[in-house]
């Protein structure tokens, strides 16, 4: 053993008490579309995100939103799908389009000098994507093959089962994709979804990086290509579901275990407290579940809990892949950890650790020229107060043990959790 | 461009510093030049298991994760065939917490029987999750054992079989630590808003007193040149058929490495690439196809991987891939294609240099590789490549007698 005095005592650790959240420049473009822009001069790269409120929430038919998103960039009036990818790749740019429950997002990342070349292509795409039958068929076939593979993975099966039973099989947050749904989609479904929803009243633009004022002009010009519409506001109706325990046969080397509790979106008054409690339970490496089930017992490579939140709803999910022989004891241990959180006060050390961890982690997730705009993006898109993340940081700093304990008593009852096990049946 | 400075402490530890004044965060990265290539063939998976044990505690730090979490940071590690890499990202005011934990475990790691017992189980569960319980999860096991018959790249980093991990002994663990976890065998890089001098002072303060026994290098058996085609067909619990074509290629410092990388991009990077356009989009013979290089320090692999559509038979699928390879070998590569690939790589490098942790990591990486200056020469290495280089390398590398072919077929049950 080496004796090094220096190492006997560690350095003083400083408490993190503030997180700097940037305020981007805000513009309302002449198209009526809001633009949020955060400049980082000299980095040589730019990211542009166009987000439409056009996800599953606005569908008239299953899977249309996601399929529409995937096919936006696959052909325009002037260019075929392969011409578009050739032109974008030639400029060294990345263009993606994705759809989820709430949104369709077009994201362009490129070198500073390429933006002028790429924006006209993007505009041409936005004016009128073709959604051709041919491209739709290619998409369907590839997606089916991908589904065939994914449906043999335990963790995917368990996520599908738990979200479907939790939100309801007809809910936008709960329904699962099937071959039949894919077969049922037509080219005109995609066109009408696009024309109805990817419109100027549902668009938000976020720009980051090394842009100039002339680029903002070009983006304004681009936004004039969005269809001009006044849509009615969306309506989300939560489905009432009954608690379930589901066992599914899957791959047998390990089981995928998921527990879940219906919760709420970020607007709920208890969100900050549950966010804090979730971190302690299973939200970071030093969490209670990791310490007990991985670091003490060695039952799994990873166990975590997360708040799976959407714009209008949310749930609490605990998830783990482990050998079948450990499943019962793991369930028991999760319940023990719930009890501890309900009955034993948090030590000052753990409380302080979670506070520092969460703030430091937050600083890290918004660090960098493209990530800094994220809090403002989330606040805008999810309909949160413009001070949401500042307030969340302040609330995190202020939490005391009894507040967290009382939330644990209110929410952490193992009997209220949905349960799915996929593995050896 | 990553502006850096380098010093070597008297105990042999190389220190690299990079200043980024735009961030409130610091990244601390410690790379040890030991990976699964340093293992013996009957004790595989050990370097990675050891990485798990590095979190078990050291003489003065009880729980690494706790110290870093209290400091508002995040820490993790990974192991591959060539090296083991530990890192912390945290607010710069707490940078010394990261330096302290890294220094203490470099000086005096404590490995308890309990920690070994638990981490063996954890890693066996990781093995099951990543390799055994996932379709195609053992592809790398098959590919590496087929392609490397002498060199220790013969097994993947996770290990050949879970039994090897189960049998790891505490004596092996301390020997491994003594041999490889010395300042001499490590690279420390720090990226933060602090000045270079200040970072060097901190590196000295925490690391300079650690003793170094200079380690002997392992002599790794070289892989002989492959003379004939190898084939393996696996019947497994997979939902659809899959084909992998793997070819030996030069090591990371060979100029041809860059040409191979560009060639793999020409085949499969982005939606406009040859394989995607011709075999997925236009003809719909494949549902997915990819080409990539393993990127190892020692001579690596060039791999093409695809899943044919249900109505395409395997012989035809393989021929279709070969046709695309032959197009390149026969010289049908345009200047425009080359410019496109170089533009893409340039953007990729600009983007990767925006991240503070990534910058710290690649500084350590290139230093471990043998030449840290390469970190700023990457764009130039790629831009030098000509059309003929690509065609010549394709003709040299992508040949049938050096092919290792792996096919997955769904078993009936």
Calpha distance A45→A111 (Å, rounded): 4
Q: Note the residue count of chain B.
A: 413
Q: What is the pLDDT of residue B413?
A: 53
Q: What percent of chain A has pLDDT over 90?
A: 95
Residue B214 has pLDDT above 70, yes or no: no
Q: C-alpha distances in angstroms, A307 versus A269, A337, A418?
A: 15, 18, 15
Burial of residue B21, with CB atoms counted within 10 A of its CB: 0-12 exposed, 13-18 middle, 19 or more buried: exposed
Q: What percent of chain B has pLDDT over 70?
A: 99
- For CATH 3.30.830.10, the residue range(s) in chain B are 5-207, 230-410
Interface test with chain A among B58, B99, B116, B129, by most A beta carbons within 10 Å = B129
Residues 190-209 of chain A whose Cβ lies under 8 A from any Cβ of chain B: none
- Cβ–Cβ below 8 Å for A92 and B90: no
> Which H or E run includes A70?
helix A64-71
Residue of B366, B401, B379, B354 lying closest to B261 (CA atoms):
B379
Q: C-alpha distances in angstroms, B74 versus A274, A381, B26, B50?
A: 21, 28, 11, 20
Over the stretch A165-203, which tens digit does the pLDDT of each residue have?
A: 999 999 999 999 999 999 999 999 999 999 999 999 999
Residue A117's CB: how many other CB atoms inside 10 A? Answer: 16
Which stretches of B193-284 are DSSP H helices?
Answer: 196-207, 255-268, 274-275
Query: Given CB atoms, is B156 within the 8 Å cutoff of chain A?
Result: no
ipTM higher than the 0.90 cut: yes
Query: Given CB atoms, is A43 within the 8 Å cutoff of chain B?
Result: yes
Over the stretch B241-282, which tens digit does the pLDDT of each residue have?
A: 999 999 999 999 999 999 999 999 999 999 999 999 999 999
CATH dotted code for B230-410: 3.30.830.10
Nearest CA of chain B to the CA of A320: how many Å?
10
Domain covering A25-223: architecture: 2-Layer Sandwich (3.30)
According to DSSP, the β-strands at A45-52 and A94-99 are: unpaired
Nearest CA of chain A to the CA of B59: how many Å?
8
Q: What percent of chain B has pLDDT over 90?
A: 95
Query: Given CB atoms, is A142 within the 8 Å cutoff of chain B?
Result: yes
Q: Which SS3 state, helix, strand or coil, does residue A152 take?
A: coil
- Cβ–Cβ below 8 Å for A141 and B309: yes
Burial track A318-356 (b if 16+ CB lie within 10 A, e otherwise): bbbbbbeebbeebbebbbebbeebbeeebeeebbebbbb
Residues 216-275 of chain B whose Cβ lies under 8 A from any Cβ of chain A: 237-240, 270-273
Query: Given CB atoms, is B288 within the 8 Å cutoff of chain A?
Result: yes
Calpha distance B34→B83 (Å, rounded): 4
CATH dotted code for B5-207: 3.30.830.10
Confidence band, pLDDT 50/70/90 cuts, at residue B217:
confident
For residue A224 the two structure tokens come to 């004039």
Residue of B136, B329, B317, B159 lying closest to B238 (CA atoms):
B136
Q: What is the pLDDT of residue A1?
A: 63
- For CATH 3.30.830.10, the residue range(s) in chain A are 25-223, 245-423
Over the stretch B116-125, which tens digit does the pLDDT of each residue have?
A: 999 999 999 9
Q: Please, are residues B102 and B88 in contact by the beta-carbon 8 Å criterion?
A: yes
Q: What is the pLDDT of residue B236?
A: 96
Contact list, A10 vs chain B (CB under 8 Å): 60-61, 67, 96-97, 100-101
Residue A319 has pLDDT above 60, yes or no: yes
The neighbouring-strand residues paired with B286 are: B308
Residue A2 has pLDDT above 80, yes or no: no
Tokens 């170094």: give the residue.
Answer: B212
Q: Given CA atoms A43, A73, A150, B159 in this order, what sign does their dihedral have?
A: negative
Q: Which SS3 state, helix, strand or coil, does residue A208 take?
A: strand
For residue B139 the two structure tokens come to 């592809």
Task: Name A398's Cβ contacts closer than 8 Å, sequence gap at least 6.
Answer: none
For residue B173 the two structure tokens come to 């663990």
The neighbouring-strand residues paired with A371 are: none
CA A334 from centroid of its chain's CA atoms: 25
Average pLDDT of the residues in B142-148: 98
Closest residue in chain B to residue A348, using alpha carbons only: B70
Query: Given CB atoms, is A45 within the 8 Å cutoff of chain B?
Result: yes
> At residue A144, what are phi and psi to the nearest 5 degrees?
-65, -45
Residue B11's CB: how many other CB atoms inside 10 A? Answer: 18
Interface test with chain A among B138, B201, B272, by most A beta carbons within 10 Å = B272
Calpha distance B297→B252 (Å, rounded): 5
Q: What is the pLDDT of residue A213?
A: 93
Nearest CA of chain B to the CA of A13: how many Å?
6
- E-strand spans in B193-329? 230-236, 242-249, 286-293, 300-308
Calpha distance B204→B209 (Å, rounded): 8
Residue A232 has pLDDT above 90, yes or no: no
Nearest to B97 among A11, A40, A359 (CB): A11
Q: Please, are residues B221 and B152 in contact by the beta-carbon 8 Å criterion?
A: yes
Nearest to A44 among B74, B350, B356 (CB): B350
Which stretches of B82-195 are DSSP H helices?
Answer: 95-107, 113-127, 139-147, 162-166, 170-180
Closest residue in chain A to residue B281, using alpha carbons only: A138
Q: C-alpha distances in angstroms, B396 versus B247, B320, B389, B405?
A: 10, 20, 10, 17
Task: Give this prediction's pTM.
Answer: 0.96
Confidence band, pLDDT 50/70/90 cuts, at residue B334:
very high
Nearest to B351 among A6, A109, A359 (CB): A109
Q: C-alpha distances in angstroms, B324 versus B223, B319, B327?
A: 28, 9, 5
Residue A425 has pLDDT above 90, yes or no: no
- Cβ–Cβ below 8 Å for B118 and A86: no
For residue A300 the two structure tokens come to 């799994």
- Cβ–Cβ below 8 Å for B120 and A85: no
- Cβ–Cβ below 8 Å for A321 and B125: yes
Task: Name B315's Cβ contacts closer than 8 Å, sequence gap at least 6.
Answer: none
Nearest to A296 among B73, B93, B118 (CB): B118
* Number of helical H runs and strand E runs in chain A: 16, 11
Q: Quote the DSSP letter at residue B94.
A: G
Q: What is the pLDDT of residue B215?
A: 66
CATH class of A245-423: alpha beta
Nearest CA of chain B to the CA of A3: how many Å?
9
Query: Given CB atoms, is A41 within the 8 Å cutoff of chain B?
Result: no
For residue B314 the two structure tokens come to 């395997």
Tokens 């939902």: give the residue.
Answer: B239
Over the stretch B39-84, which tens digit does the pLDDT of each residue have?
A: 999 999 999 999 999 998 888 998 899 999 999 999 999 999 999 9
Calpha distance A101→A99 (Å, rounded): 7
Nearest CA of chain B to the CA of A230: how many Å?
35
Q: What is the pLDDT of residue B57?
A: 85
Residue of B340, B341, B296, B302 lying closest to B321 (CA atoms):
B302
Query: Given CB atoms, is A66 within the 8 Å cutoff of chain B?
Result: no
Q: Mean pLDDT for chain B?
A: 96
Q: What is the pLDDT of residue B133?
A: 95
């Amino acid at each position: 053993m080496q004796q090094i005095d220096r190492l006997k005592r560690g350095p003083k650790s400083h408490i993190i008490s503030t997180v700097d959240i940037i305020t981007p420049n805000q513009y309302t473009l002449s198209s009526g579309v809001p633009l949020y822009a955060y400049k980082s001069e000299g980095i040589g790269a730019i990211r542009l995100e166009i987000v439409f409120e056009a996800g599953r929430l606005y569908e008239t038919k299953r899977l249309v939103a996601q399929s529409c998103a995937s096919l936006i960039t696959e052909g325009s009036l002037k260019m075929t799908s392969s011409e578009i990818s050739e032109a974008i790749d030639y400029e060294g740019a990345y263009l993606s389009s994705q759809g989820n429950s709430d949104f369709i997002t077009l994201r362009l990342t490129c070198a500073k000098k390429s933006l002028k070349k790429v924006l006209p292509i993007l505009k041409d795409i936005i004016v009128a994507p073709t959604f051709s039958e041919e491209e739709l068929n290619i998409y369907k076939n590839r997606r089916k093959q991908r589904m065939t593979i994914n449906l043999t993975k335990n963790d995917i099966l368990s996520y599908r089962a738990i979200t479907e039973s939790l939100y309801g099989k007809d809910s936008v947050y709960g329904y699962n994709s099937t071959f039949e749904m894919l077969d049922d989609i037509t080219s005109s479904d995609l066109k009408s979804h696009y024309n109805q929803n990817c419109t100027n009243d549902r668009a938000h633009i976020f720009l980051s990086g090394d842009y100039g004022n002339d680029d903002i002009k070009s983006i304004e010009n681009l936004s004039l290509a969005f269809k001009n519409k006044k849509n009615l506001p969306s309506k989300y109706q939560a489905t009432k579901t009954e608690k379930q325990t589901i066992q599914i046969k899957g791959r047998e080397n390990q089981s995928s275990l998921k527990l879940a509790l219906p919760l709420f979106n970020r607007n709920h008054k208890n969100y900050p407290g549950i966010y804090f409690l979730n971190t302690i339970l299973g939200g970071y490496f030093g969490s209670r579940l990791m310490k007990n089930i991985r670091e003490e017992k060695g039952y799994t490579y990873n166990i975590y809990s997360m708040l799976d939140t959407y714009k209008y709803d949310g749930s609490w999910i605990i998830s783990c892949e482990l050998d079948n022989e450990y499943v019962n004891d793991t369930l028991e241990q999760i319940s023990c950890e719930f009890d501890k959180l309900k009955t034993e006060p948090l030590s000052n050390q753990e409380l302080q650790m979670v506070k520092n961890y969460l703030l430091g982690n937050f600083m890290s997730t918004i660090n960098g020229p493209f990530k800094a705009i994220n809090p403002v993006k989330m606040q805008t898109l999810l309909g949160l107060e413009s001070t949401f993340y500042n307030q969340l940081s302040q609330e995190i700093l202020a939490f005391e043990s009894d507040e967290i304990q009382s939330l644990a008593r209110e929410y952490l009852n193992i009997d209220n959790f949905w349960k799915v096990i996929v593995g050896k049946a | 461009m990553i502006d850096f400075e380098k010093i070597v402490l008297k105990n042999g530890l190389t220190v690299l510093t990079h200043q980024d004044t735009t961030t409130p965060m610091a990244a601390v990265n410690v790379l040890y030049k030991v990976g699964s290539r340093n293992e013996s063939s009957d004790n595989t998976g050990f370097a990675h298991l050891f990485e798990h044990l590095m979190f078990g505690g050291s003489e003065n730090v009880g729980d690494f994760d706790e110290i870093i979490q209290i400091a508002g940071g995040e820490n993790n590690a990974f192991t591959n065939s060539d090296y083991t890499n530990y890192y912390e990202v945290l607010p710069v005011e707490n940078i010394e917490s990261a330096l302290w934990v890294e220094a203490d475990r470099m000086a005096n790691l404590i490995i308890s029987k309990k920690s070994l017992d638990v981490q063996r189980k954890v890693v066996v569960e990781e093995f099951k999750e990543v390799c055994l319980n996932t379709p195609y999860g053992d592809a790398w096991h098959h590919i590496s054992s087929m392609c490397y018959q002498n060199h220790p790249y013969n097994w993947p980093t996770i290990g050949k079989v879970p039994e090897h991990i189960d049998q790891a002994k505490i004596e092996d663990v301390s020997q491994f630590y003594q041999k490889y976890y010395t300042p001499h065998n490590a690279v420390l890089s720090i990226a933060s808003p602090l000045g270079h001098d200040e970072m060097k002072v901190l590196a000295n303060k925490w690391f300079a007193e650690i003793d170094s026994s200079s380690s002997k290098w392992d002599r790794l058996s070289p892989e002989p040149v492959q003379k004939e085609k190898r084939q393996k067909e696996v019947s497994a619990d997979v939902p659809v058929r899959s084909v992998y074509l793997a070819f030996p290629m030069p090591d990371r410092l060979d100029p041809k490495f860059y040409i191979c990388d560009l060639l793999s991009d020409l085949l499969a990077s982005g939606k406009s690439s040859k394989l995607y356009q011709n075999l997925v989009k236009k003809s719909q013979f494949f549902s997915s196809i990819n080409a990539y290089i393993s990127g190892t320090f020692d001579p690596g692999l060039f791999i093409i991987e695809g899943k044919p559509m249900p109505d395409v038979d395997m012989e035809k699928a393989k021929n279709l891939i070969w046709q695309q390879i032959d197009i390149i070998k026969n010289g049908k590569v345009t200047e425009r294609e080359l410019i496109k690939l170089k533009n893409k790589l340039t953007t990729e490098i600009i983007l990767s240099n925006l991240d503070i942790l990534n910058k710290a990591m690649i500084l350590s990486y290139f230093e471990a590789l043998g030449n840290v200056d390469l970190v700023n020469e990457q764009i130039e290495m790629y831009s030098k490549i000509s059309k003929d280089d690509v065609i010549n390398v394709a003709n040299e590398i992508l040949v049938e007698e050096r092919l290792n072919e792996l096919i997955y077929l769904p078993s009936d049950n």
